[in-house]
Amino acid sequence: MPLLENFSGYFLLQSILDTLSKAHGKSLKHLRFRRIPRGHEDPNERPWPSSIENLESLPDRFPNLQTLGLDLDWINEEWVPL
């Protein structure tokens, strides 16, 4: 499998991010976290996976990361985790 430079994923679980960093940590340049489309959320799940709550570890895990995209919801000009 060729090394990835770009990855975009919906609701990335920590285990997926762990595998991604082990296999493609040095090659990944662009990473995007996307939330599950409104209306498809599981009310029993937390609004964001644990991987997005620990963003400070990304530079160590992806040393060549150039861009990080986060899809956020804004309601009444405030960020609301859905």
Query: For 59-75, what is the mean pLDDT?
Result: 83
DSSP 17: H
Which range marks the domain in which residue 44 is found?
6-79
Q: Is residue 28 a part of any domain in this protein?
A: yes
Q: How many domains does the structure of the chain reveal? A: 1
- Is the pLDDT score of 16 beyond 50? yes
Q: Is residue 30 a part of any domain in this protein?
A: yes
Q: What confidence category does residue 42 fall into, taking pLDDT thresholds of 50, 70 and 90?
A: low
Q: Is residue 71 a part of any domain in this protein?
A: yes
Q: Is residue 72 a part of any domain in this protein?
A: yes
| pLDDT tens-digit map of 17-38 | 889 999 999 999 999 887 665 5
Query: For 67-71, what is the mean pLDDT?
Result: 85
pTM exceeds 0.75: no
Q: Is residue 1 a part of any domain in this protein?
A: no
